[in-house]
Chains A and B, each alone.
Chain A
Amino acid sequence: MDINLTLIGQSIAMLVFVWFCMKFIWPPLVAAIEERREKIADGLAAGERAEQDLIKAKEEAAGIIGEARSNALEIVAQANQRSNEMVDEARGKASSEAERIKAQAHAEIAQEIEQARSALRREVAAIAVGGAKQLLGREINEAANADLLEKLANEL
C-alpha cells in the first residue's frame, strides 16, 4: 500500500489516453452524432411538409371532385331538357305532319268527290240526253242544247 512510481506511470498513461481520445475518438463520434441529428431533423421536417402537402392535395382533390359532380349534374339536366325538347319537337312535327297529311287526304277526297260528281253529272246528262233522244226519236242538236245540258248537269 505504499506510494510508488506506479502513481506517476498512471498519470502519464492517463494523459496519453485522454490526449488520444481528444484527438481521435471524440471529434469523429460527436461529428457523426451531430450530423445524424441534423439528418433526423431534416427528415422530420420533410415528413411534416409532406403531410401538409397531402392535406392540401386532398382538399384540392375534393374540390375537383365536387366541381366535376356539379358539372355532371348540370350536363345531365341539360341532356334531360334537350331530350324533352326533342320529344316535344318531334311530337309537334308529327302532329303537324299528320294534320298536313289529313288535310291533303281531305283535299284529295274532296277533289275525287268533285270529279266523281262531275263525271256522274256528265253521265247523268248523257243518259238524260240519250233518254230524251230516244224519246224524241231524233238527234238533238247537241251544240244548240249544250248550254241547256250544262245547266242541267250543274243542277244535278
Chain B
Amino acid sequence: MAAEKQSTGEYISHHLQNLQVCRVDGSWVWNECAGNFWTINVDSMFFSVFLGLLFVLGFHAVAKKATSDTPGRFQAFIEMIVEFIDTSVKETFHKSSNVIAPLALTIFVWVFMMNFMDLIPVDWLPMAAHAAGIPYLKVVPTTDVNITFGMSIAVFFMVIIYTISAKGIGGFIGELTLHPIAPPLKGIGIVFAPFIIAFNFILESVALLAKPLSLSLRLFGNMFAGELIFILIAILGIWQLPLHFAWAVFHILIVTLQAFIFMMLTVVYLALAVEEH
C-alpha cells in the first residue's frame, strides 16, 4: 500500500492523477493545470514515447539483420507478428498500399505494449517514482484519454486524406451529402434537395466523427476500467494476491484484444475510405 496516511479515496485518486506540467504566466507549473489546454501529461507521454521507441528500435534491430536464411528465435518471433499483421491487413484492405500494413503493425505492437504496462503491479512504478521525488505517475498511457484520442485523431485525418486521394474532394463531399438518401436533382423535386443534403450531411458527419470517437473511447474505457479494478484489488490487503493474479490473467486477453481491435478497426476504416460503393 502506498502510505498509511492516505485514505482509500485518496489512494485511488492519487493513482489516477497524471504527472502534469503546464505553462502559466511564463513559468512552468507542475500539477496545477486543471482546465489548462497547454498541459502535457508527462508520464503518459514519457511511457508512450518510451514504448514506441522500444518497438521501433527493437524491430529495427531485427529488420536490419533480417536474412532469408534460418531466422534466429527473436527474428522468427518478430516475423510471426509481421506475417500475422500482413495477413490481417490483406484480408481487409484489398488495394495495395505501402502505408497501411506498417501503420497496422505500429498500432498493434505499440498499443499492445502500452496496454501491457497495466500488468505491472499498480504500486511498483508509482512508489519507485515517489521515492525519487516524483509525486504522481500513471504508468499505463492508454488509460489516458489524451493518448487514445491522439491516436484516433491521427487515424481520423488519415481516413479523410485517403478518402480525398481515392475519390477527390468532390467525392469526399459527395460521400458526406449524397448518402444515404440520394437527393433529386431534376424536376420539381429539386426544391427538396437542400433539405435532403442537409439531412445526409448531419447523418454522415456523425457517422464520420463517431469513428475516431468510438475507436479511442473503446480502448480508453477498457484500459481505464482494467486499471481501476487493479487499483481496487490493491486496496484489499493480503487478499489481493489471488485476485490480482486472476484479474491479470483475464486482463492479458483484454490487453491483446484491445490492441488487435484498435489495429483492425483502423484498417477497416481506411479500407472503407478507399473502396468504391
Q: What residues make up the interface of A, taking CB atoms closer than 8 Å to B?
A: 1-11, 13-15, 17-18, 20-22, 24-26, 28-33, 35-36, 38-39
A10 touches B86 (CB 8 A): no
A21 touches B39 (CB 8 A): no
User: Residue of A at shortest CB range from B41?
Assistant: A6
What is the CA–CA distance of A32 and B48 in the complex, to the nearest angstrom?
29
10 A-B interface contacts by CB (under 8 A)? A3-B37, A3-B149, A4-B33, A5-B40, A6-B147, A7-B149, A11-B154, A22-B98, A26-B102, A31-B66
Taking CB atoms, residues of chain B closer than 8 Å to A3 are: 37, 145-146, 149
Q: What residues make up the interface of B, taking CB atoms closer than 8 Å to A?
A: 20, 22, 33-41, 44-45, 48-49, 52, 55-56, 59-60, 62-64, 66-69, 71, 78-79, 82-83, 86, 98-99, 101-103, 105-107, 110, 141, 144-147, 149-151, 153-154
**Known contacts A11-B150, A33-B79: A28-B66 contact under CB 8 Å:** yes
**Known contacts A6-B40, A6-B41, A18-B102: A28-B63 contact under CB 8 Å:** yes
A13 touches B60 (CB 8 A): no
What is the CA–CA distance of A10 and B153 in the complex, to the nearest angstrom?
10
A30 touches B37 (CB 8 A): no
B66 touches A29 (CB 8 A): yes
User: Residue of A at shortest CB range from B85?
Assistant: A26
B38 touches A5 (CB 8 A): yes
Which of A9, A25, A35 contacts B150, CB < 8 Å?
A9
**Known contacts A11-B154, A26-B101, A36-B68: A17-B52 contact under CB 8 Å:** yes
Main secondary structure, interface of A, reads: helix
Question: A6-B39, A13-B150, A32-B79 are known contacts; what are 4 more A-B pairs with Cβ within 8 Å?
Answer: A4-B41, A9-B45, A10-B44, A18-B106
Taking CB atoms, residues of chain B closer than 8 Å to A8 are: 150
Q: Shortest beta-carbon distance, A17 to chain B, in Å? A: 5
What is the CA–CA distance of A94 and B93 in the complex, to the nearest angstrom?
103
B149 touches A29 (CB 8 A): no
Taking CB atoms, residues of chain A closer than 8 Å to B56 are: 17, 20-21, 25
Q: Shortest beta-carbon distance, B122 to chain A, in Å? A: 18
Taking CB atoms, residues of chain A closer than 8 Å to B103 are: 18, 21-22
Which of B40, B52, B79 contacts A29, CB < 8 Å?
B79
**Known contacts A15-B154, A33-B83: A22-B102 contact under CB 8 Å:** yes
Taking CB atoms, residues of chain B closer than 8 Å to A32 are: 66-68, 71, 79
Q: Shortest beta-carbon distance, A22 to chain B, in Å? A: 4
B40 touches A25 (CB 8 A): no
B105 touches A25 (CB 8 A): yes
B153 touches A11 (CB 8 A): yes
B68 touches A10 (CB 8 A): no
**Known contacts A15-B154, A30-B86: A24-B34 contact under CB 8 Å:** no
Taking CB atoms, residues of chain A closer than 8 Å to B60 are: 20, 24-25
Taking CB atoms, residues of chain A closer than 8 Å to B39 are: 2, 4-6
Taking CB atoms, residues of chain B closer than 8 Å to A4 are: 20, 22, 33, 36-41, 146
